[in-house]
Amino acid sequence: MEIAIVMEMANFREPGQWSVVIPVLNEVELLGGLLAQLQDVAELIVVDGGSSDGSCELALLMGAKLLRCSCANRGAQLAHGALQARGSHLFFVHADARLPAGWCGLLADCLEQPGVIAAAFRLRVQAGGWRLRLLEFFVHLRSSWRELPYGDQGLAITKQTYGLVGGFQPIPLMEDLDLVQRLKKLGSVVIAPAAITVSGRRWQRLGVWRSCWRNAKLRVAWRRGVSAEILQKQY
């Protein structure tokens, strides 16, 4: 079924038109760099899942609106932040990300294309090594050809579309894949011509191939109906 999405006429090429939602759990070392890039947005929302390292204090110090969740559940954190957001255009991004210059204009250009209802960035990992460069290449193929960006690539969407599709589900894992798959039923999810840079810590901790293999197994299990709560324990 084809659904028409009516875009508002606000100039959302400017940061002042965006509400940005950031889920956080003990991210004090990396959060400040992202918040510094977002000082001009209309609404900066940090949703904490129970940090004990000063992340909440840092968010408040840097002018963010701080919301709290009772547990570390990224789906619930994102849903809570979106529910409180007042802007007509939403951008969801992880705390370890660094945005490309002109990020909002790049996303706006994508969202104005006919049939496009959501946009994300290419992935760049802040660490060296050919394995990570190969990972970035395959992530770009997946997110471009299959229109399946994951949460660490950021996600831009209008508040209207977010509500229409039902938003993030309060699940601790696969919340990004779940939402994008529903979005694809309404229109195109495209990749902006720039990269978002994320920390390489998770791939460095487990190793690139081991991390990719683990994540692939989790996605297959989720598609087969295994609950996100069970998968979180394995994660």
Q: What is the pLDDT of residues 20-52, one digit of tens each?
A: 999 999 999 999 999 999 999 999 999 999 999
Taking alpha carbons only, the member of 155, 15, 34 closest to residue 87 is 15
Residue 215 is predicted with a pLDDT of 76
Regarding beta strands 43-48 and 65-68, do their DSSP bridges make them parallel or antiparallel, or are they unpaired?
parallel
> Which one-letter amino acid corresponds to residue 77?
Q
Q: What is the pLDDT of residues 145-197, one digit of tens each?
A: 999 999 999 999 999 999 999 999 998 888 999 999 999 999 999 999 999 99
Structure tokens at 48: 């904490």
How many CB atoms lie under 10 A from the CB of residue 166?
12
Would you place residue 231 in the very low, low, confident or very high pLDDT band (cuts 50, 70, 90)? low
Residue 3 is predicted with a pLDDT of 42
